[in-house]
Amino acid sequence: MERVRVDEVRCMHEEIVERALYRIVEDLAEALDRTPPTVSSRALVEGALKLALGAYNSARLLRDECRRAGGGNPGG
């Protein structure tokens, strides 16, 4: 069995988290698009989308830093 460096595992984890957050952002953006302005829960969807976008951007920065450090798959 091939040995995997801890840095590679960490970078794989960062990529998985980034992809999951991207899908959450997509779903929330679609939910916001489908929610009429008159629905009171629209503000909650907007807030959730802003939080998810912030988390996604942070995950993307961490993944980029991980790749720069040489622990990840640059094609990936």
* Average pLDDT, 10 consecutive residues per value, the chain (76 residues): 69 91 98 96 97 96 86 54
Q: Taking the CB of residue 8, how many other CB atoms lie within 10 A of it? A: 15
Residue 18 falls within a domain, yes or no?
Answer: yes
Residue 75 falls within a domain, yes or no?
Answer: no
Residue 15 falls within a domain, yes or no?
Answer: yes
Range of the domain at 59: 6-68
Residue 74 falls within a domain, yes or no?
Answer: no
The pTM is what?
Answer: 0.78
| Those residues with Cβ within 8 angstroms of residue 36's Cβ, 6 or more apart along the chain or in another chain | 42
Domain count along the chain = 1
Give pLDDT, residue 12: 87
Residue 46 falls within a domain, yes or no?
Answer: yes
Give pLDDT, residue 22: 97
Give pLDDT, residue 70: 76
Residue 52 falls within a domain, yes or no?
Answer: yes
| Those residues with Cβ within 8 angstroms of residue 2's Cβ, 6 or more apart along the chain or in another chain | none
Question: Any idea which residue has 């951007």 for tokens?
Answer: 57
Residue 30 falls within a domain, yes or no?
Answer: yes
